[in-house]
Amino acid sequence: MDKHACRACRGSAGHIVLDLGDQPACDYFPRRDDPGPDPVYPLQMWLCSSCGLAQLLADPTVPEEPRGTEPAALVSQAADAVQRVAAAGWLPEGGVVDEYGSPHGGSWLGLLAAQGLRSVGQAGQADVIVDCFGLMHAADQRAALAERAARMAPGGVLLLQYHALSTILSGGQWNALRHGHYAYYSTTALTGMLARAGLTPRTAWRFELYGGTVLLAATRTGGGPDDALRSMLADDAGIGVGDPGAFAGLQQDIQAHAKALHDWLAAERSSGRTVVGYGAASRAVALLCHARVDRLLLPAVIDASPAKQGLRMPGTDIPVAGPDQLAARRPDAVLLFVPDLLAEVRAAFPEVETGGGRWVDAATLGS
Q: Which residues bind Zn ion (CB under 5 A)?
A: 6, 8-9, 11, 48, 50-51, 53
Smallest separation, CB 51 to Zn ion (Å): 3
Residues 6+ apart with CB under 8 A from 125: 96, 151, 152, 153, 156
Query: Is 358 in a helix, a strand, or coil?
Result: strand
| Helix (H), strand (E) at residue 156 | strand 152-163
Report the candidate in 126, 129, 166, 157 with the shortest Cα–Cα distance to residue 144: 129
Nearer to Zn ion, 50 or 305 (CB): 50
What angle in degrees, to the nearest 10, is found between the helix axes of 141-150 and 187-196?
Answer: 60
As to burial, measured by CB atoms within 10 angstroms (0-12 exposed, 13-18 middle, 19+ buried), residue 156 is buried
Smallest separation, CB 7 to Zn ion (Å): 7
Smallest separation, CB 243 to Zn ion (Å): 15
Nearer to Zn ion, 106 or 201 (CB): 201
Nearer to Zn ion, 50 or 69 (CB): 50
Smallest separation, CB 126 to Zn ion (Å): 28
As to burial, measured by CB atoms within 10 angstroms (0-12 exposed, 13-18 middle, 19+ buried), residue 2 is exposed
Helix, strand and coil content of the chain, in percent to the nearest 5, comes to: 35, 25, 40
Smallest separation, CB 52 to Zn ion (Å): 7
Nearer to Zn ion, 11 or 240 (CB): 11
Smallest separation, CB 150 to Zn ion (Å): 21
Nearer to Zn ion, 54 or 132 (CB): 54
- DSSP secondary structure string, 8-65? TT----EEEEEEEEEEE-TT---BTT---PPPEEEEEEEEETTT--EEES-----PPP
Nearer to Zn ion, 169 or 300 (CB): 169
Query: What DSSP state is assigned to residue 247?
Result: G
Smallest separation, CB 233 to Zn ion (Å): 18
Nearer to Zn ion, 162 or 349 (CB): 162
Query: Is 146 in a helix, a strand, or coil?
Result: helix
Query: What DSSP state is assigned to residue 209?
Result: G
Smallest separation, CB 9 to Zn ion (Å): 3
Nearer to Zn ion, 6 or 136 (CB): 6
CA distance 254 to 289: 11
User: What's the Rg (C-alpha) of the chain?
Assistant: 21
